[in-house]
Amino acid sequence: MSRHARLKDPQSEESQFQLRLLIAFGFMVLMLLLLAARFVWLQVLQYDHFSTLAQNNSISLVPVQPNRGLILDRNGIVLAQNHAAYTLELIPDKIADLDATVKALGTLVEITPRDERRFRKFLAESKEFEPVPLKLKLKEDEAARLAANIWRYPGVEVRAWLFRDYPYKELTSHVLGYIGRINQNDQKRMEEDGTLANYRGATHIGKLGLEATYETELHGQNGFEEVETDAGGRAVRSLRRTPPVHGNNLQLALDIRMQEIADKLFGMRRGALVAINPQTGGVLAFVSKPGFDPNLFIDGIDAATWKNLNDDWQKPLVNRALRGLYPPGSTFKPFFAMAGLEAGALNPNELRPAPGYFTLPGSSHQFRDSVPSGHGMVNLAKAIAVSSDTYFYRLAWEMGIDRIHPLVAQFGLGSKTGIDLDSEASGVLPSKEWKAKRFAKARPEVGRWYPADVVSVGIGQGFNAYTPLQMANATAILANDGKVFKPHLVQKIVDARSNKEKLIDPQPLRALAFKPQHFATVKEGMRAVLQPGGTAFRISGGLTYSMAGKTGTAQVVQIKQGAKYNAGALAEQYRDHSWFISFAPVEHPTIAIAVIVENAGFGATSAAPIARAVTDFALTGKVPAELEGQLLTMPATKKPDQGARDASAAR
């Protein structure tokens, strides 16, 4: 190779290097131009679009709902519980075509007409930015299909919720009540009382019964979670979480086993039973027949079911124990007797005539006794035992309503008891002032008090009208020698955080200033009701404890003078009511009961056997033979153990 060629090679290599450098530089300039163009496109031409997306891609403060507290009976049996399930929800303001979205979702899961009707109802009651449930309690396969396809539908979510459940349905409906969806009235009320913030994200609230009365205890406190969301509103990641405080549990004084026994003994008959521990005021049983299934109201009751419940002539939605007003019939006599003794209007040992009828001076109208031949000469105890009407007719006329009213009122008749349930009825213990006010818009003579008015009051008829709860409470006061406790269903509240128990203090509200011997006299008469010659002697067979009671048969319609009562000739709803009140053991009463069976006739026939069976269970653990193997609340083949019997007896 020549020397010239060797010198030329370095020059060629340098030229090639410069060319490559130029090409690289040009490529870099091109890339920079492309980046600049992209920058202009994103930052200038598409500014508005991406600015909106950036604002939507933000941190949201999401409320975390607490678990609602449980409700248990006195033995720890769960009466109201929670269970988890998935719900398909739509957020209206994030959906362009709501109808099309609902139709499309119908291809993934079954959307029934009832689901759509409920969705439209909730939609009308909700704000556009609030999730509205379309389908509740999804099955696992439905939730899986939706989860796999939900990215196709902005504004559609599948969320896990805790749903309320009442396992004993009708058996506890009038005690527990139910929860329902929060409506505009609820929101307005919460705004007024300052609790709305604690219900952010919540969908349900207590509507009736203990669920409503103890809403503050059961609901708990909201938690919060800071969540980063994308432009579609879906969570990207959780940043921080403040856990909720779950609701407190309620443990009742009520015994669900006793409740079920009483309920089944009613069968298909209408009425109510209330059992109270006179020593504490704790309500052991609270039955209203018929009941309803509270689970129907949780998800939003449909119009057809609501109409059926309201149109039913048996009125299952009416809480008869709390709001049913009935004339007490002869169960009023023990309290009237206490008033007569305290007023000095009678001597308990004095024999008085008890003929077949009573007439007011100067009147021919006969106030008849239930026994046409009368009872001869009776003292107070026998008058109670045989339920002489004419004895108490005469006593009422001699005393007058002005002396009767203030003394009987001390037993709580005609007043709310203050039980821990809303909407309790007051009842009517009549007086001259009450009648004048009641008939203020009528002719003057209608509102005037007449001597005949007080005669009917003396045997629990006329204007008398009380709830079964009031009768049970009055019986408990009498049984407890005048010590008054406020009836209560909740026995203790269990704190969700500390698990500490807050007991309902069973301190007496007051004590009646009646003479002890007067209580003893009336109790003697009530005890004789279950002895030979007494109106409830037939239920006393096999008693292993002492029991006192009083039968009552309350007229629903007035029988014409001279006519005889014939139940078979009357429509069922016009027949007499069957009443019975009782307490046991007489020496130290731990259970006082009031029972009414609507349109069932004599108290000894229908109401008294129910009270006897419930008292047997409370004091001995004995289950009625006809109910063996039928009760849901205890094993069919196992009787309560000795510990359960001792606990019951201690009540």
Catalytic residues: 330
**d(C-alpha 357, C-alpha 372), whole Å:** 7
3-class SS letters over 136-172: EEECHHHHHHHHHHHHHCCCEEEEEEEEEECCCHHHH
Secondary structure (DSSP) of 494-526: E-TTT--EEE-----SEE----HHHHHHHHHHH
Strand 78-90 with 156-165, pairing: antiparallel
Please tell me the distance from the alpha carbon of residue 7 to that of residue 359, in angstroms, as a whole number. 155
- Alpha-carbon distances of 507 from 474, 488, 500, 586, 588, rounded to whole Å: 17, 12, 21, 21, 17
Among candidate residues 73, 308, 64, the one with its CA nearest the CA of residue 210: 73
Q: Beta partners for 88?
A: 135, 158
The amino acid at 396? A
Q: Give the contacts of 357 (CB within 8 A, at least 6 positions apart).
A: 366, 367, 368, 369, 374, 390
| Secondary structure of 349-385 in HEC code, one letter for each residue | CCCEEECCEECCCCCCCCEECCCCCCCEEECHHHHHH
CB 349 within 8 A of CB 525: no
C-alpha of 442 from chain center: 38
Q: Where are the alpha helices (DSSP H) in 150-267?
A: 173-176, 184-193, 209-213, 215-219, 256-266
CA distance 134 to 159: 12
Sign of torsion over alpha carbons 512, 518, 523, 525: negative
> Which amino acid is it at 14?
E
Q: State how far the Cα of 156 lies from the Cα of 233, in Å rounded to an integer.
A: 10
Of 556, 561, 606, 592, nearest in space to 576 by CA: 556
Please give the C-alpha separations between residue 86 and each of 158, 290, 302, in angstroms, as whole numbers: 6, 33, 21
